[in-house]
Amino acid sequence: MRAANPSAPGTSVNPAVPFLDLWAMHRPLAAEIEATWHEVLEGSGFIGGPQVTAFEAEWASYCQTAHSVGVANGTDALVLALRALGVGAGDEVVLPANTFVATAEAVVLAGAVPRFVDVDPRTLLMTSEHVEAALTGRTAAVVAVHLYGQMCDVDALSRVCRRAGVALVEDAAQAHGATWRGRRAGSAGDVACFSFYPGKNLGALGDGGAVVTDDARLAEAIRSMADHGRRVDTKYVHDVVGTNSRLDALQAAALRVKLRHLDGWNAARRAVAQWYGEELRHLDVELVAVAPEGESVHHLAVALVPERDRLRAALAERGIATGIHYPVPCHQQVAYATFAREPLPVCEATAGELLSLPMFPTLTREQVAHVGAALRAVLATEGRRAG
Ligand SMILES: *Cc1c(COP(=O)(O)O)cnc(C)c1O
C-alpha cells in the first residue's frame, strides 16, 4: 500500500510512511527466490513434491509440533481443522467477535454455529472467562484467535477446554513465531491454523496456509481431506468427501526462503513497537497491551484513539497510511448477525476507536518519529478545538 499523499504540505522533509512495504522485505531475497522457482519450473512438479514436503517439515519444527500440512489458505486451514475434529451440524464453536471474518466464516462453512464472545479491554483478546460463560451442551470447539501478533492465555484456555471436553483450535494467522510462556503459537491447542497471505508475518507470494498438530491421525485426516479425500498413498480411493486445498510448490519454495528471516523480521517489528511506545508516551494514546507472559510478534500496531476517523484523515494528509482491524465486529456483520446472541460491549465500543499504525520490519526510527510527531500535532490541535 502506498501512502495517500506523500507530497502533502509540511511533509516535504520527511519520508512518507506506507502501511506495509513488502518489496523492502523481498528485494534482498529476490535472486534466491527466483533461483528456487527456476528449479521448480525445471522439475515440473507444481503440486506437492520436495519443496512442499521440506517446507512442511521446517514449519512443524519452527512451530514445535510433530506435523504440518500445507493447504491453500488460512480459511481452508480452519475449515479442515474443524472438520477433521468432527465439528459439524448441531455443534457450537466459541470464538471472539473481534477477529478477521474468516474465523467466523470457517465455523459456518464447517456446518457449525458460531458463538461469538467479547474480548479483554486491554489486549482485545478472548479470555477463558469469556469462553466459560459461553459453553453449552452443544459446544464442540473453541477457536482462540491470537490477534495482532499476540497469543491468548492458552494455559487458561486449555484448562477450560479440557474440563469441558471440547477441542482447542488456534487461529494463529497473525501470530507466526509468537510465544506464551516460551511455547510457540501453534503448539498450544489440539490443532492450529496459519495463513501465509502476503501481508502476514510469514507471507507467500500469493495464497497459502498450514495446519499444525501433534496428533498424527488428525494430520493424516486433514492431508486426505485437502486432497479430494484421497486415502493417503492412493490415487483413486476416496473414503471421505474432501476438497482441493493444497499448498503449491512455488509458494512452498518462496516460504522456505522467507522462513529463514522470520525471527529477524519479528525482532525488527518488536523494535518498531517499542519505538511507538516511546513516541506515544506523552500522549493519551497507547498501543494495545501485551501481556507479560507472552512475546508478541506485532503483526499489527493497533492503538485505541478518540475521533478515529478524523485522526486517520489527518495522518493521511501527512503521508501516513493507516488501517482499521476491524471496523465492524463479526457479530454485527450482516452475514453473521443472525448468530448474535447478546451485546458484546468491548467489541462494540472499541470498533470505532481502533487505528492500526504502519508496522513492518524495515520501518525506520525516523519514520516512526514522523508518525509520532504527526499524532502529537493532530491531537494537540484536536485538544485546542475541544477546549
Ligand atoms: C488472514 C486471516 C485468516 C484467513 O487467512 P486467508 O489465508 O486469508 O484465508 C484467518 N484468521 C485470521 C485471524 C486472519 O488474520
Total-model pTM: 0.95
Distance CA 331, CA 19 (A): 27
Contact at 8 Å (CB) between 354 and 304?
yes
Alpha-helical runs (H) found in 17-142: 22-26, 30-43, 50-62, 74-84, 102-109, 128-134
Q: Is 197 in the pocket of ligand 1 (CB under 6 A)?
A: yes
Pick from 170, 174, 326, 330 the residue to mutate for probing ligand 1's pocket: most ligand atoms within 8 Å of its CB.
174
Task: Output the pLDDT for position 168.
Answer: 98
Q: What is the pLDDT of residues 23-34, one digit of tens each?
A: 999 999 999 999
Residues in a beta bridge with 210: 70, 194
Task: Output the pLDDT for position 382.
Answer: 67
Q: Is 148 in the pocket of ligand 1 (CB under 6 A)?
A: no
Task: Output the pLDDT for position 16.
Answer: 85
Using DSSP, state whether 146 is helix, strand or coil. Answer: coil
Contact at 8 Å (CB) between 80 and 245?
yes
Task: Output the pLDDT for position 384.
Answer: 56
Distance CA 83, CA 94 (A): 15
Q: What is the pLDDT of residues 69-128, one digit of tens each?
A: 999 999 999 999 999 999 999 999 999 999 999 999 999 999 999 999 999 999 999 999
Distances (CA, A) of 145 to 32, 79, 87, 265, 342: 33, 14, 18, 21, 20
Separation of CA 15 and ligand 1 centre (Å): 31
Dihedral over Cα of 125, 176, 180, 363: its sign: negative
**312: its cell numbers:** 486517520
Kind of pairing between the strands at 183-184 and 179-180: antiparallel
Distance CA 300, CA 201 (A): 9
> Could you tell me the mean pLDDT of each successive run of 10 residues in the chain, 387 residues long?
43 71 97 98 96 98 98 98 97 98 98 98 98 98 98 98 98 98 98 98 98 98 96 90 97 98 98 96 89 98 95 96 98 98 97 98 97 93 57
